[in-house]
Amino acid sequence: AQSVTQLDSHVSVSEGTPVLLRCNYSSSYSPSLFWYVQHPNKGLQLLLKYTSAATLVKGINGFEAEFKKSETSFHLTKPSAHMSDAAEYFCVVTDNTGKLIFGQGTTLQVKP
């Protein structure tokens, strides 16, 4: 069965410093992995997706993630945090029926 574990429930960074949000996955086959962001009162927005092409995936707003099969990880990074990045972030894996399996979420706080 597929699952994801987000290793931090809350991450706090200062504006302009790097962001690292950690995600480990479990899958019985080569997974499709995603990162979604959820701002208050807004729908989930896709940041990036990995679908067995390049292992380093670039997304919107300067975010990127690296698929590491040996470590079963798909961590999300950004070189420099912006105040507008404060939100809830979800790591997601799909199963072969089209169902999305979400992690518990990581709240990113960005301090001025």
> DSSP H helical segments within 9-97, as ranges?
none
Asked if 86 interacts with other proteins (CB under 8 A), we say: no
Binding part of the chain for other proteins, among 55-63, 68-76, 77-85, 103-111 by CB under 8 A, reads 103-111
Asked if 104 interacts with other proteins (CB under 8 A), we say: yes
CA distance to 10, 25, 65, 79, 90, per residue, from 16 (Å):
18, 29, 19, 8, 22
Which tokens hold the place of 91? Answer: 């790591």
Nearer Cβ to other proteins (17/84): 84
Asked if 35 interacts with other proteins (CB under 8 A), we say: no
Helix or strand holding residue 33 (H, E): strand 33-38
Asked if 72 interacts with other proteins (CB under 8 A), we say: no
Binding part of the chain for other proteins, among 14-22, 61-69, 74-82, 98-106 by CB under 8 A, reads 98-106
Contacts of 71 (CB under 8 A, 6+ apart): 24
Asked if 105 interacts with other proteins (CB under 8 A), we say: yes
CB 50 within 8 A of CB 72: no
Binding site for other proteins (CB under 8 A): 29-30, 32-34, 36, 41-46, 49-52, 90, 94-105
